[in-house]
Every structure is written in C-alpha cells, then in structure tokens.
Amino acid sequence: MTTNARDDSQRPSRATGPSLSRREVFGLAAGGAAVLATAKRADAQVAAPAVRKKVKLTYWNWADNPNHQKISVDSVDMFNKSQDFIEVALDANMAVMEARKKLVVSYAAGAPPDVINTIQYWVQDYFDNGILEPIEDRFNAWDEKSDFFHNVMEQTRSKPDQPFLYLPQTSIPYFLYYRADWFDDANLKPPETYDELIADAKALTKAPDRYGFAMRGQTASAIQVIFPIWASAGVQFATPDGTVDFDSPAAIEVTDKWLGMALRDHSAQPTAATDGYRELYALMEKGRCGMWFYGPHASPALMTALGDKIQGTQNPRVGDKHYMIANPEGPMMVSSCKEKEAAWEFMKFIASGDAAMLFTANRMVPPVRTSLSKRPVFQDNRFIRMSLDHLDTWWTPPYAHEYWTNFQDKIPPYWQEAVRGNITAAQFNQQGAKLLRGEA
C-alpha cells in the first residue's frame, strides 16, 4: 500500500514501520454531565492559520452511545466553524471495537480516513504496519506541548525508542468503587492491599443476595481491571527480550485469589461468568454489591443513584506500589493522509479548549492537560480528583509486545471458563502465557 503525498519534511527521524500488504491487513482486521450543551465558536479557540487553502479531511470516531456520537458531531462542527479553510467530514457510526477493523480494511482498500481516534492498545499494530503517521516533530514544535502530562505522552510512544504516535485527549483510569456506608457499618476501611480486598469482599457479603464484590466475566475487559494487581505483584506479562511470566507463581496466586471470591468465598455474584458492564453497574446501583472496578465515566450515574454512599480509592496492591491502569486515547493521523498539516491543525483543535472538554467533561473522564485538569468540573468530581491525585501510578501493560493482540483477542473464553470453575487459575495463566508467547 502506498502513502500518497507524504510530507517528508515533517517525518520523524525514526522509521514508521514496514508497509502493509493487502493480505496482511485483512489478517489484522480479523484479529456524563453535559458541560457544553451545544457546539459554538469560541474566541479563545480558533484553528491556527497554518493552512490557508481549501482542504477536505475525513475523521472517524466510534460512538457506542448517543452522547459519544454527539461529542464527535459537536467537536467537528466547532472546528469547521472556527476557520474557513479546512472542512472535516465525520463518520462516527461504528462501535469502539469495530473502529480498528474498519480502519485496516479501508486502508487495504485505499480509502482510509485522514484522522481517526484510537486507544493505546491498538497503536503498535498500526505503527508496525505503516498505517500510522507519528506526530513527534509536529508535537515538539507546538507551543502548548508542555501542558500535556509527561507520563501520558511517554505512554503514546508505545515503546521507549519510538516517537509519539498520536495525540491524547484523555486517559481513562480504572480504580475501585466501594460502598462507604457498608464499610462503615462493618467497621472496615477501604482496602489498601489485595488481601484486604479479598477479606473485605467476604465480610460485606450477606445472604441471600448481597455480595461484597461485582465480578465481570464477559470480554477481555473482564481481566483488564486485574492487570494493575498482577503488576503490583511483580508480574511483567512480557518483556522486550521475549520473557513471559504470566504463568509465574506470583501471577497464578493473584488469579486464584480473584477466582476464589466467586468459587470459594461466594463473595462475588453467582452470575459473574456471564456478566458484563451493564449487569455490574445494575448490581451496584441496586445495592447488591459492595465493590466494583471501573472508570470515572460511571460516576455521574452512580452518584445520582447512591449519593455519598459511593466512594472511590486507588487499586489495592500486592507489593509496595499501587498501579492504576489508564489507557490514553485521542486522534491519530493516518499515514496515507494527503493533507498532513491540515490534519495536524484539526488534531490540535480537538485536543484543546472547549473541544477537548467535549471529549472529557462530557464523558466525565479526566483530561491529559494540566490547564484543563484544574477546571472545577474535574476537581469537583471526587473520583476524577482522586485519580488525578495518583497520576504517578497511571500505567499500561506491554501492549507493544508482539503477541499482545493475540492474547487480548483469544483470552476471553478461557477467563469465562475459569470463573465458572471449569479450569483452574494455573490453567488459565498457563494458557495466557502460551498466547503471549505465540504458541497458541
């Protein structure tokens, strides 16, 4: 696949990865509060006049719900109204997991977008296959670069020796929600360690239908919330030299204790194996579970349902250090884009000011810019404020590992079998290690 009209003067000094054949790309494809009610033209946010010719761009984003779709529509409308040169056409009709497949198929067919929103765990595949245009040189020339959280920008490299691969708008941290009133009644403190979490879940459980912990069995997201606990136990999953330790005794012990809440202590709901996000949220809202791992985007609805009874704390640890999984997401430039300077103007715009607030405050997730993080809408949300207070613990697993996508795509059914008790913790971790080694 060729990349037309590439602006060589703006290319990073590092290679952008091999080109992607049609066969390879089809193989890869297989693999709350509304703060800004309407889009408007803001005097403080007008697109820079670097591009002074008529240009048309295409921008894709996912829309798993009407609010997210409106965010995409409004942000594009704001940009188009802010200047008279660049016109952006939007496609926000795909689900989040469809976005990756749709991009690689369209790239193979020669009809990709110019800009697409991405999530951290996809970008290495894009980079390795030449789909992604890194932004390092453009970002470093931007006078607003120092406003971005340093650790989040470093995450966007995917690997330490690579350039910045995309421009983040947010990074969504996952932490522990807990019923403060239940903890008070039981004379318990929020768990600091993993063993305390296990003990608290058991203590909070009351027959016949109140459970200490809301456990998820559906999709790869079910184990994403365990990643920080594995990491705190010293598990590296996979290292750059190819070492995989997901089947280590430390990793298996974490898994066994987690599964024990469902299989031994019965402190997790009996429907855990088939439950996903909606079921877990309903359990929390209806007062049937006392703890749940999720992101701040659930906080508006939970606060409406439970008020001050619902609180949040950082993820419990096994070793000395806490980890909070936080996956950056934001606009990415596609390598075949013919108007890269115009695409960069658009990317900067939707990662700044009122447009960035649409993608963060309107979803109730934290921004990744210091100036925006100080705004009252974030500081007044106790869950976002707590996660920002622990910014130094934001972390991602080794998504850049050669076989991470293989692991992520194939592990879900094994997890459901583990939650059902059909395979042991050791068997689950051993299978995950095989996937990370490319042996299955």
- Domain identity same for 38 and 112: yes
Report pLDDT for 52: 73
How far apart (Å, rounded) are the C-alpha atoms in residues 414 and 108?
32
Q: Has residue 232 got a pLDDT over 70?
A: yes
Query: What pLDDT is recorded for position 49?
Result: 56
Q: Has residue 285 been placed in a domain? A: yes
Q: Are residues 387 and 407 in the same domain?
A: no
- Does pLDDT of 379 surpass 50? yes
> What percentage of the chain carries pLDDT values higher than 70?
88
- The answer to whether position 352 is within a domain reads yes
What is the CATH number for 112? 3.40.190.10
Residue 411 lies in a domain: yes
Q: Residue 435, Cα to own-chain centre: how many angstroms?
A: 22
Show the tokens assigned to 313.
């704390």
For residue 48, is pLDDT > 70?
Answer: no
Contact present, 81 and 39 (Cβ < 8 Å): yes
Whether residue 299 has pLDDT greater than 50: yes
- Of the candidates 356, 365, 345, 364, the one whose C-alpha atom is nearest the C-alpha of residue 75 is 356
Question: Does 321 map to a domain?
Answer: no
pLDDT at 22 over 50: no
User: Is residue 28 scored above 50 in pLDDT?
Assistant: no
Distance CA 82, CA 40 (A): 9
Q: Is the same domain home to 161 and 203? A: no
Cα distance from N-terminal residue to C-terminal residue, the chain: 29
- The helix-helix angle for 194-204 and 249-263 (nearest 10°) equals 10
Instruction: Identify whether 119 is part of a domain.
Output: yes
Could you write out the three-class secondary structure of the chain? CCCCCCCHHHCCCCCCCCCCCHHHHHHHHHCCCCCCCCCCCECCECCCCCCCCCEEEEEEEECCCHHHHHHHHHHHHHHHHHCCCEEEEEEEEECHHHHHHHHHHHHHCCCCCCEEEEEHHHHHHHHHCCCEECCHHHHHCCCCHHHECHHHHHHCCCCCCCCCCCCCCEEEECEEEEEHHHHHHCCCCCCCEHHHHHHHHHHHCECCCEECECCCCCCCHHHHCCHHHHHHCCCCCECCCCCECCCCHHHHHHHHHHHHHHHCCCCECCCHHHCCHHHHHHHHHCCCECEEEECHHHHHHHHHHHHHHEEEECCCECCCCCCEEEEEEEEEEECCCCCHHHHHHHHHHHCCHHHHHHHHCCCCCCECEHHHHCCHHHHCCHHHHHHHHCHHHEECCCCCCCCHHHHHHHCHHHHHHHHHCCCCHHHHHHHHHHHHCCCC
Same domain, 149 and 91: yes
pLDDT surpassing 70 at residue 33: no
212 with 164, same domain?
Answer: no
191 within domain boundaries: yes
**One domain, residues 163 and 31:** yes
* Residues 58/102, Cβ–Cβ less than 8 Å: no
CA distance 156 to 16: 14
Q: Regarding beta strands 55-62 and 86-94, do their DSSP bridges make them parallel or antiparallel, or are they unpaired?
A: parallel
Q: Give which of 364, 356, 329, 394 is closest to 144, Cα–Cα.
A: 356
Q: Are residues 180 and 161 in the same domain?
A: no
According to DSSP, the β-strands at 324-334 and 170-173 are: antiparallel
- The dihedral sign for the CA sequence 111, 101, 352, 162: negative
- Asked whether the predicted pLDDT for residue 37 surpasses 80, the reply is no
Could you tell me if residue 396 is inside a domain?
no
Give residues with Cβ within 8 angstroms of 408, minimum separation 6: 121, 220
Could you give the number of structural domains in the chain?
2
Label residue 96 by pLDDT band (50, 70, 90). Answer: confident
pLDDT over 90 (residue 130): yes
pLDDT digits (tens, 9 = 90+) for 408-417: 999 999 999 9
User: Does residue 409 sit in the same domain as residue 382?
Assistant: no
259 and 379 housed in the same domain? no
Q: Tell which residue, 386, 382, 356, 376, has the closest CA to residue 368.
A: 356
CA-based nearest residue to 45, from 77, 74, 82, 81 = 82
In this structure, is residue 103 part of a structural domain? yes
Q: Is residue 112 within 8 Å of residue 100, measured between CB atoms?
A: no
CB neighbour class for 324 (10 Å; exposed up to 12, middle 13-18, buried from 19): buried
Q: 211 and 158, same structural domain?
A: no
Q: Which two tokens stand for residue 25?
A: 């790309």
pLDDT category of residue 53 using cuts at 50, 70 and 90: confident
Give me the domain span that covers residue 141. 8-172+328-391
The pLDDT mean for the chain works out to 90
Global confidence as pTM: 0.87
User: What are the tens digits of pLDDT across the range 349-372?
Assistant: 999 999 999 999 999 999 999 999
β pairing state of 115-119 and 55-62: parallel
Token pair of 187, please?
């004379």
Shared domain for 168 and 188, answered yes or no, is no
Whether residue 415 sits in one domain with residue 281: yes
Q: What's the average model confidence in pLDDT over 189-217? A: 97
pLDDT of residue 18: 39
